[in-house]
Amino acid sequence: MKEKAGVGRREFLSKTVAAAIAVPAVLAAGANAAHAQGDAPKPGPERTGVRTKKIAIEEHWANQELNDLRTEWGKRTGYPITVDPKAIGYSFPRTPDFEKFRIPFMDEFGITMQVISTGSPGVQGYADAQTAVAKAKAINDAQAEIIRKYPGRFAGFAGLPTQDPKAAADELERAVKQLGFKGAMIQGSTDWQYLDETKYWVIWERAAALEVPIYLHVQEPSFDSAKIYAGHPELTGSTWAWGVETGTHALRIINAGVFDAFPKATLILGHLGESLPYLLGRLDEGYFMAAKSGRKLQKPLSAYFRSNVLVTTSGLYRPEALVCAISAMGPDRVLYAMDYPFVQPKASIECFERTPMTDADREKISHLNGERWLKL
């Protein structure tokens, strides 16, 4: 149902309270259904890795050039490695491979299709616009060749040269119309310039016209904000810093009025929405209470999550977190993803299968929503 512009504060807060009251009941029902006892519920024989057909939509690949770019970008920006290579040593041999590791894994666990994209920093890692434009085309062409080589197993998100916003919009259109890609994945900010800035609105305008989503992937925070992690390297990377950076980026996009200007634009957030579904009530309360900057959104912040934002299950989360995301977003706006191969894939799948939800919602999240939103 379409939200009315300019919802009154009293009416909005009453809706927020009603939604908040419903969440504990959903969680309690889920816990009872799964017989949760402290840790995530143990899977029974009916909850196997192939219980549902799966389309996974945040699944990464890389060639040698992209792996070298990751190293070069880290040296150029001065960013230290925030992930222990020993902890995910199994990942990097699997990023370029499709036949030895990836497809057998997909077959074993019932993953019908992966929507593939490069990992961070991707095209955003190139230092200048001219190089980024040329490399984006080459990377997207290489990805399209992978998709053609394995019919029916893969679809793709384009990499965009955001160093030149107009060229990025043009490359998105080429990738969608000529290569058959389903949208784009942007690897966070571009030299810590964010997608709410008006120079990037041409990308949002083009994505809305093409009716394809923009997937905002995690990236390192700026050095200014990274000072808060000084002396605490364990809080960098996926532990905390990536999610905070990406969630803040998403809120900048919403608060800039991007979705008021382009109501058909769609933003995808991984990792269960970077914690934002958990905070919708707090975000709305804060927006009403805060001194404004002159901007005025047409709807409460939370309404954009139900009209312009999708979230995915990428990463490894406990079942109660997924229950919260489903409750906050609605089951039609949550899509399955793993973040292959950067999480323990089997554990990720088992976590999804253990999460208490209706069979209808499980089918939606595991593949039907992907088919619908990405036109697969």
Rounded Cα gap, residues 108 and 123, in angstroms: 32
Active site residues: 339
In 12-150 the beta strands, taken as DSSP E runs, fall at: 54-61, 111-118
Q: Are strands 267-269 and 111-118 parallel, antiparallel or unpaired?
A: unpaired
Provide the b/e sequence for 296-328 (b: ≥16 CB within 10 Å).
ebebbbbbbbbebbbbbbbbbbebbbbbbbbbb
**Helices vs. strands in the chain: H and E counts, helices first:** 16, 8
Rounded Cα gap, residues 192 and 190, in angstroms: 5
CA 151/CA 131 separation, integer angstroms: 31
Q: Shortest CA distance to 356 belongs to which of 124, 35, 14?
A: 35
Cβ–Cβ contacts within 10 Å for residue 78, how many?
Answer: 7
